[in-house]
Amino acid sequence: MWLINSSVGRKVVMSVTGVALILFLTFHMAMNLVALISAKGYNVICEFLGANWYALAATAILGLLVVIHIIYAFWLTLQNRKARGNEHYAVSQKPKTVEWASQNMLVLGLIVIIGLGLHFFNFWCKMQFPEVLHMVGVHVDAATMENVSNGVYHIQQTFSNPVYSVLYLVWLAALWFHLTHGFWSAMQTLGWNNKIWITRWKTISNIYTTIIVLGFAAVVVGFYLGSLCGATC
């Protein structure tokens, strides 16, 4: 199959799944910003996106996209290293025309994966997952069930911890580098590869990624500062 056997096909899969994940991050960032404006409004969204069939279906699709993206990323990395062979070890200095993010996409990707695991633990495992367990008849204590739709509570609990706040900011920094290169690279793979549009897509990817990352960071910093004020004011 072309999408599996061809190097170009594998890059297309990487690009399509990457763009889909960027769109999800856009939605997730916009949703999180609601928490800074209205706790009640954010919790209404969390309740709407609870253990409903559409939310569970979206979660499953999102998880599949992440897995495919990761598998193809490792696949392409191994393929590129195999193609370079001994030349990989002969290069003592990276070309100046190659971006730092491009040279370190795998490492940045690994940091992003670890950050996703942390996010998964702090939020999904404490919100949607208990609802799923309750739906299938597994006993979940009343205190846990009471807070499954209280997204603001979980944000406050997570980002009042300075360690989690710093870890999330490090994760977001890695995400910025990963997306700024991945975004325009995906556009190039999907056909916008002339000199004019590549320059434009690089600018767009920098601006768009910065907006996404700053939106997430605003929630982290805002709730952390809020916790400090709550403790001292």
Interval 63-117: pLDDT, tens? 999 999 988 888 887 877 777 664 544 444 554 445 677 777 778 888 989 999 9
**Three-state DSSP class for residue 51:** coil
Instruction: Give per-residue pLDDT as tens, 149-165.
Output: 899 999 999 999 999 99
**Left, alpha or beta for 93 (phi > 0: left; psi -120 to 50: alpha)?**
beta
**Three-state DSSP class for residue 10:** helix
pLDDT at site 53: 83
Q: Quickly tell me which residue has 């062979």 as its tokens.
A: 85
- Alpha-helical (H) ranges within 190-232 are 195-232
The one-letter code for the residue type at 168 is: Y
What topology is assigned to 2-85+102-232 in CATH?
Answer: 3 helical TM bundles of succinate and fumarate reductases (1.20.1300)
Question: What residues does each domain of the chain span?
Answer: 2-85+102-232
Contact 144, 126 (CB under 8 A): yes
Q: pTM of this prediction? A: 0.86
Contact 70, 109 (CB under 8 A): yes
